[in-house]
Structure 1
Amino acid sequence: MPNVSFDGSTFALSDIQENPARFARRLERAKINPGHALCHCRPDSPRKLVIRRYGSLYHLAGWPDDGPHHTDGCDFRKTHDASSTAGNDGRAAILEGPNGMNVRLDASLVQREATSSPGPRAAGSPGGMSRRTASLLAFLQALWANGRLNAWRGSSMARGWGAVNAMLLGGLGENALINGARAQDSLHVMRRYEESERDAINAEFDVFLNGIHNDGKVSRRALILGEIGEVADTQYGKSITLRQRRQRYFTTPTLIAAAAKKYGHAWRAIGEASARVVALILIERTPKGHLRVVDLAAMLCSAAFLPCDSMHEVAMANRLVAERRTFDKPMRLSDGDTMLPDFVLLDTTPATHIEVYGMNGMASYEHRKLEKQMLREVSGVPVVEWDTDRERLEEVRLPAAQRNT
């Protein structure tokens, strides 16, 4: 993990990410003069970093179009691939620009003539819009990819929620828009709890929640992103609690059942010590003042918050992190990659694909497996294949790392 410098001093990037409140004043000064920070992944050629403000804190992000110039082991390295958001397609639901992301969701953040019935899906965007719309899951995945949370750079450091928060907000951008409105007014990424910052964290969150109101005719909704801690029964239905704050968000058994079916791998992993389950929840306030979940997306992650599609992938990701490998977890955010692997080892030459086969026997799965195997053979791409039915993870042989980054 590289060092970064601003305000006349040099710091470890991990310290900035995990403890953003400690550096707020210094980053504020650097944002004014000289207007940027520096990444020292290339000591002979430091790269500029954008300083972005979201709420009361400041976060670092890569300079526009400079991602390929960072080293392979740098958190700010970014190339355009299948994990990238929509590029130059102006009609795409999720756009990325120098001022941040511009997102059009298929869920409405303003519900007119709201009723007491929550419904599992928010109303769609107004008619006549030329841009496509994105689901909550697509937005959650794009946030992960844009913040480079699907990459691991061989660090010996753990990735906690403080770093997740910083990387998400750095990638989102301080001038980001969601459905045409400021993201800062409609999306709150939960902060890591710090006793020394308790009052500031609570005050900031309370201000955000105050923007969610319902007068019986218009319901102004908002999005909250955090790690699921508990799904529990209540006297009138269900509730969801995020690990970052003991606040209950009420919902219906119908919505919970739908989420458990739609996001099965993630839902079954809630409470698993080796995994994390993150959620993007759409909430509104009931006429009585309670906070209610009207829609959500859930995503399974490894212990280091790398996105995964199964618990077998979680196990592989955890092993790669423990062995300090440099790798990516590709995310299919657009069409175009016909042999997208489960993981890509970047510390071998050439890069090595890793496939985790956990659905053996299904005809469509076996057909797709064979198709990808043939494509790799033709292209000469090395691959490690783990058949979860035939061998234990510790028996899988990985190629030795050829460089430490």
Structure 2
Amino acid sequence: MADLVTLAGRRIRLDDLRAKPEQFARVLAAAKASDKHGYCLCRPAAPLRLVIRRRGDRYHLARWPGEGQNHDSGCPFHAVDADLSGRSAYADSAILEGPDGTSIRFDTPLTSGTTATAARADTGDRDGGNTGSGRRAVGLLGLLHFLWEDANLNCFEPAQRHRNWASVVTAITRQSSDITLSRHPLADVLFTVPAYRNGLGETNIAAFDAFLARLRSADGQSRRGLLLAELKSVEATRYGHAYVLAHLPRARRAYIDARLHTKVLRSYDTAFTQAATDAGGRRIALLLIEASPKGYAQVVDAAVMLTGHTYIPADSSHELVMDTALRRAGRAFLKPLRWDHTTLTLPDFVLTDTPTSTVIEVWGMDSTEYEQRKAAKIATYTHTGTRLIGWRPPEPLPDLTLSAPPTTGGARRPWEDR
């Protein structure tokens, strides 16, 4: 029943509601006037409240603030538990959820003529020089991870094995309608490159060009916008590099100067390795851009995220291998995201189809510091009775099937403490 909702006493399939919202406008309005909210039936014994929001002349449903983690893991309104998200390391003022949507404080100005972005890019530090549990604003990588997490794109269910860029765009677009970024409606400052379809190529190009045109005001001053796309390739140009974006023609590339591109490579080196390419990795870029005098997209800052075939994020090429193995085994799982906090300790993957807490760790480098962190993780899992499945490449992958014998705490399999 994860796709059923109740509005004014009437059960409706969520897919039907989202596909044809105009047909359910009256029942949505009636539910908002009477009950003030709807209900999600993903847990029939205890229906969960849903916010009814209005944008223009249309109503839509959204998860109730602070209750997303109570939904079933396969429910469209599910939200990752705070303990499995980099969001937990921000001050409350950085991200505010309320009845009308989510408000995010962005750490970079959305107008030109300031030096904040350039100064931060010069550090080459993904944390933006403002780390710690009290971080009061969200950086570019944090925003990218927020979008992925808010849309449940870091979660995988076996039924989603055919997830493609079109479904990613739909999910991001739907979630963006309720978000403001530094008091700007996110839908106004974010352009998510649409999936290419026969007959819509010119329409998509026109939409991209119109977005760039809006970044230039009448007095010729540039505004900044956000461009979300899959990075197809990087090409050298006379003055730097060009980012070729999937689903758009090469004529609509985004341009970045050589110095900033070097810093992007240093900050997000894993996404650009040959090993990641060989493992079938995709590169998702969230670009802070301005429109050049000639109308091109000029990159001011960039965050790049490595993902697998179904757009599940990964921190290494070995995690891409594990992602593929989990999907082939028919497992449901999530990938915790660190946001702007590169040192935050989180599991590599968490299985969501087991009755007890189960994590997966892809063990990496041999160094004293790494071994200390690894030992601390294992001790925590043992203390909490969390089942641990570990893998150390290039050893054979462990048995990932749902029917594999369970283990908990200290009773680990041979590969679990390597």
Fold shared, TM-score > 0.5 on shorter chain: yes
Specify the code of the residue in structure 2 equivalent to 1:73: G
Summarize the Cα distance change of 1:231–1:120 in structure 2 as closer, same or farther, 3 Å threshold. farther
Summarize the Cα distance change of 1:217–1:385 in structure 2 as closer, same or farther, 3 Å threshold. same
Which region of structure 1 is more displaced relative to structure 2, 269-278 or 311-320? 269-278
Residue 127 of structure 1 corresponds to which residue in structure 2? none
Residue 259 of structure 2 corresponds to which residue in structure 1? 254
TM-score after normalising by structure 1: 0.79
Specify the code of the residue in structure 1 equivalent to 2:377: K
Q: For the Cα contact (< 8 Å) 1:55–1:184, is it kept in 2?
A: no
Specify the code of the residue in structure 2 equivalent to 1:167: A
**Deviations, residues 199-248 of structure 1 (Å, cap 9, x unaligned):** 65445434322211278873211111111112112233211122132221
Summarize the Cα distance change of 1:376–1:81 in structure 2 as closer, same or farther, 3 Å threshold. closer
Deviation at 1:26, TM superposition (A): 4.4
**Structure 1 CA distance for aligned equivalents of residues 218 and 225 of structure 2:** 15
Matches within 5 A, 1:6-405: 13=15, 23=20, 25-26=22-23, 32=29, 34=31, 39-42=40-43, 49=50, 61-78=62-79, 79-83=81-85, 85=87, 89-92=91-94, 94-112=95-113, 121=121, 132-155=136-159, 157-172=161-176, 174-195=177-198, 197-198=200-201, 201-213=204-216, 218-246=221-249, 247-268=252-273, 272=278, 274-333=280-339, 340-359=346-365, 361-389=366-394, 391-393=395-397, 396-398=398-400, 400-401=402-403
Which region of structure 1 is more displaced relative to structure 2, 60-69 or 143-152? 60-69
Deviation at 1:259, TM superposition (A): 0.9
Q: For the Cα contact (< 8 Å) 1:84–1:146, is it kept in 2?
A: no
Deviation at 1:263, TM superposition (A): 0.1
Deviation at 1:104, TM superposition (A): 2.2
**Structure 1 CA distance for aligned equivalents of residues 244 and 226 of structure 2:** 14
**Structure 1 CA distance for aligned equivalents of residues 60 and 204 of structure 2:** 16
Residue 3 of structure 1 corresponds to which residue in structure 2? 3
Summarize the Cα distance change of 1:63–1:165 in structure 2 as closer, same or farther, 3 Å threshold. farther
Deviation at 1:362, TM superposition (A): 1.5
Length, aligned pairs only: 382
Deviation at 1:279, TM superposition (A): 0.7
Deviation at 1:293, TM superposition (A): 0.7
Q: For the Cα contact (< 8 Å) 2:326–2:400, is it kept in 1?
A: no
**Percent identity of the aligned residues?**
33
Q: For the Cα contact (< 8 Å) 2:283–2:307, is it kept in 1?
A: yes
Summarize the Cα distance change of 1:104–1:71 in structure 2 as closer, same or farther, 3 Å threshold. closer
Deviation at 1:382, TM superposition (A): 1.4
**Structure 2 CA distance for aligned equivalents of residues 192 and 34 of structure 1:** 34
Specify the code of the residue in structure 2 equivalent to 1:96: E
Q: Per chain length, whose mean CA-contact separation is higher, i.e. which structure has more relative contact order (CA < 8 Å, sep 6+)?
A: 1
**Deviations, residues 44-64 of structure 1 (Å, cap 9, x unaligned):** 776565577889999764243
Deviation at 1:196, TM superposition (A): 5.4
Q: For the Cα contact (< 8 Å) 1:83–1:330, is it kept in 2?
A: yes
**Structure 1 CA distance for aligned equivalents of residues 27 and 277 of structure 2:** 41
Which region of structure 1 is more displaced relative to structure 2, 209-218 or 259-268? 209-218
**Deviations, residues 272-326 of structure 1 (Å, cap 9, x unaligned):** 5622211100111222332211110001111111111111111111211222212
Specify the code of the residue in structure 2 equivalent to 1:251: I
Which region of structure 1 is more displaced relative to structure 2, 145-154 or 187-196? 187-196
Residue 407 of structure 2 corresponds to which residue in structure 1? none
**Structure 2 CA distance for aligned equivalents of residues 184 and 200 of structure 1:** 18
Q: Which runs of 5+ in 1 are unaligned?
A: 125-129
Deviation at 1:133, TM superposition (A): 2.5
**Structure 2 CA distance for aligned equivalents of residues 222 and 259 of structure 1:** 18
**Structure 2 CA distance for aligned equivalents of residues 312 and 234 of structure 1:** 32
Q: Which runs of 5+ in 2 are unaligned?
A: 123-127, 129-133, 405-418
**Structure 1 CA distance for aligned equivalents of residues 340 and 224 of structure 2:** 28
Specify the code of the residue in structure 1 equivalent to 2:237: T
Q: For the Cα contact (< 8 Å) 1:6–1:27, is it kept in 2?
A: no
